[in-house]
Amino acid sequence: MGKYLGIDSSTQSITALLIDSERQEIIAEESINFDTHFSTAYGIENGVFERGGGTVHSAPLMWAEALDLLLQTLKDQGHCLSQVQAIGGSGQQHGTVYLNSKATAALASLSPERPLKDQLVDIFSRTTSPIWMDTSTATQCAEIEIGVGGRDALLALTGNTAFERFSGPQIRKFHQTEPDAYAETAYIGLVSSYIASLIAGKLVGVDPGDGSGTNMMNIATRQWSQTALDATAPDLADKLLPIAPSGQPVGPISPYYVGRYGFADECLVLPFSGDNPCSLIGLGLVAPGQVALSLGTSDTLFACIDQPRTSKTGEGALFASPDGTHYMALTCYLNGSLAREAIRDRYQLDWNRFTEALQHTPPGNNGGLMLPYFAPEIVPNVPSPNVVRHNLDESDAEANIRAIIEAQALSSRVHAAWMEIDITSLYVTGGASANAEILRVYANVHNCPVHRFETTNSAALGAALRAAHGHQLTTGSSVSWQETVEPFSQSIPGSTIEPEPAAVAVYEALVGAYEKLEKKHTSG
Ligand code: ADP
Ligand code: XUL
């Protein structure tokens, strides 16, 4: 029992969440927004650079600089980091980081006198990282599926059909377009394993939760699949570390953080996992049944399941749960918060006015519908931006606001069917889950209560809980996952949003029309 730190390196920010497992409370929660601090230095917007043709990258050196700023902020606030017994972490999924042969020595010899940024600038064989928003690899997806013996073969082997954002297709594209830089790459990691490597001061492998988002991991054995690696790029096994079991500490924290921020020498580091797998833990989904909704930069709907269920149509993804035994089924949308912001900004509103518009307009929007593909969409697969308005006048700001939220909620209902789960409640997280009027639409579309939690940073909370669980196992105590998550996964009393029968009936009638409109304008 003690203090545990969770770090979530996400698309737009990096967050630290500190828990006291004895007092069963969150004692610190701090975020560094990338645009606020680094937009000029790195030329990013919303945490990323868009390079046309669906290419979306970010800057791994910026993530390191942001990590320093985050820890400095915690230290300046007076948090006693020497009491942290273990650190767990989470990263935006699928993004790949490419390191050269200098990385190992640089990580091992970090001086607490100089910031990470100055000491890591030379370790990259590729200075940018393609991230989950990148949709530029349709060709590579097709090639990988053929390479392993077809789409069904890849699905059976890895649990997933090929997705543009997944790491394997991104690595293949890098090998094809920059073969020299690929040859100079000594190690390929994911966002999660890269941040873990910075903290451990040595290269740390990818965990099964994030490994399952690569199209390269055998979902049954939770190890890299040589067949999938061969279909992806040459010599790839040499550039990857073995998969690191999610619950086993990889060693103590690097002396850099001891000297610079006052962590204890013996503070342990757990392998990091993906943000969605960590949210699964942070929301307490350690047994099959409950379903959660994350409204972050991406919107995701996910559930804990006990048997690997796959999505043949390519609507859903299957990941290993970092609890070591279960799986998670997930549907991911690219047009989440940034699409909501596109509408908010189109009508020059703030979130208060946006929320008022939802209060002023009726469920069903008088028949006005929108397909909100401001950017290419993952589900359904929409390769280029395409915003469709049906019975909807673009000049009517309030109706457009209701239309986008209803579209997102209706789509989450349509594309959750593959999971074959009866959704009887939704646990919510992510920045937009602070907005009760958005959640009301989801409660009515899914006809179930929506539960809210103390933190909207469930990925960082899940990372801290993973640290607590992993550390306690090293002390010989046989703590269960249920015991670990329970004190932190109670919904806020009185905050549940219940479905309203009249609105439920409206959406029951509307969902078919939405699906029809979606089919008409997409190949799905
Ligand atoms: P990520 O972890 O993917 O970087 P977050 O979960 O932190 O993202 O969510 C950030 C997003 O939350 C912002 O881009 C913003 O659009 C959204 N957000 C914050 N407050 C509100 C609000 N009151 N209503 C709707 N969306 C909000
Ligand atoms: C999940 C996905 C996104 C990212 C960013 O498959 O691509 O949810 O993890 O949050």
Q: Which atom of ligand 1 is nearest to the CA of 355?
A: 24
Q: Which atom of ligand 1 is nearest to the CA of 430?
A: 6
pLDDT at 159: 98
Q: Rg of the Cα trace of the chain?
A: 22
Q: What distances in angstroms separate CA 493 from CA 294, 425, 438, 452, 454, one per listed residue?
A: 20, 15, 19, 9, 10
pLDDT at 478: 83
- The best mutation among 192, 297, 356 to test binding of ligand 1, ranked by most ligand atoms within 8 Å of the C-beta, falls on 297
pLDDT at 381: 95
The ligand whose atoms approach the alpha carbon of 11 most closely is 1
Q: What is the distance of C-alpha 385 from the center of its chain?
A: 22
Q: What distances in angstroms separate CA 83 from CA 76, 244, 258, 463, one per listed residue?
A: 15, 26, 11, 17
Q: Which atom of ligand 2 is nearest to the CA of 298?
A: 8
Q: Which atom of ligand 1 is nearest to the CA of 297?
A: 3
Q: Residues of the chain with pLDDT > 70: what percent? A: 100
Band (pLDDT 50/70/90 cuts) for residue 523 is: confident
Q: What is the mean pLDDT of the chain?
A: 97
Q: Decide: 308 and 329 in contact? Cβ < 8 Å.
A: no
Q: Per-residue pLDDT for 207 more than 80? A: yes
Nearest residue by C-alpha to atom 7 in ligand 2: 132
Band (pLDDT 50/70/90 cuts) for residue 385 is: very high
Per-residue pLDDT tens over the stretch 354-364: 999 999 999 99
Mean pLDDT of 314-343: 97
Out of 201-210, 396-405, 472-481, least confident range: 472-481
Band (pLDDT 50/70/90 cuts) for residue 524 is: low
Q: Per-residue pLDDT for 311 more than 80? A: yes
Per-residue pLDDT tens over the stretch 214-233: 999 999 999 999 999 999 99
Q: Which atom of ligand 2 is nearest to the CA of 296?
A: 10
**What are the pocket residues of ligand 2 if the criterion is a CB atom closer than 6 Å to any ligand atom?**
10-11, 92-94, 132, 165, 213, 274-276, 296-298, 300, 317, 330, 332
Q: Which residues contact 383 (CB under 8 A, 6 or more apart)?
A: 54, 135, 138, 376
Top pLDDT among 33 and 289 is at: 33
For residue 345, report the distance from its CA to the centre of ligand 2, in Å. 24
pLDDT at 1: 65
Per-residue pLDDT tens over the stretch 466-505: 999 999 999 998 899 999 999 999 999 999 999 999 999 9
Q: Decide: 201 and 187 in contact? Cβ < 8 Å.
A: no
For residue 106, report the distance from its CA to the centre of ligand 1, in Å. 35
Helix (H), strand (E), coil (C) string for 42-107: HCCECCEEECCCCCEEECHHHHHHHHHHHHHHHHHCCCCHHHEEEEEEEECCCCEEEECCCHHHHH
pLDDT at 318: 98
Bridge partner residues of 251 (DSSP): 269
Q: What distances in angstroms separate CA 516 from CA 179, 365, 406, 524, one per listed residue?
A: 44, 17, 15, 10
Per-residue pLDDT tens over the stretch 254-291: 999 999 999 999 999 999 999 999 999 999 999 998 89
Q: Per-residue pLDDT for 509 more than 80? A: yes
pLDDT at 371: 98
- Residue 418 is given by DSSP the state G
Nearest residue by C-alpha to atom 27 in ligand 1: 432
For residue 48, report the distance from its CA to the centre of ligand 1, in Å. 15
Per-residue pLDDT tens over the stretch 134-173: 999 999 999 999 999 999 999 999 999 999 999 999 999 9
Tokens at 53, concatenated: 């043709």
- Residue 171 is given by DSSP the state H
Mean pLDDT of 449-455: 96
Per-residue pLDDT tens over the stretch 84-117: 999 999 999 999 999 999 999 999 999 999 999 9
Nearest residue by C-alpha to atom 23 in ligand 1: 435
For residue 405, report the distance from its CA to the centre of ligand 1, in Å. 14
pLDDT at 477: 87
Helix (H), strand (E), coil (C) string for 124-158: ECCCCEECCCCCCCHHHHHHHHHHCCCHHHHHHHH
Per-residue pLDDT tens over the stretch 402-418: 999 999 999 999 999 99
Bridge partner residues of 31 (DSSP): 15
Alpha-carbon distance of 294 to 109, in angstroms, equals 38
**What are the pocket residues of ligand 1 if the criterion is a CB atom closer than 6 Å to any ligand atom?**
10-13, 296-297, 337, 340-341, 351, 430-432, 434-435
For residue 366, report the distance from its CA to the centre of ligand 2, in Å. 33
Mean pLDDT of 435-454: 97
DSSP-derived 3-state class of residue 3: strand
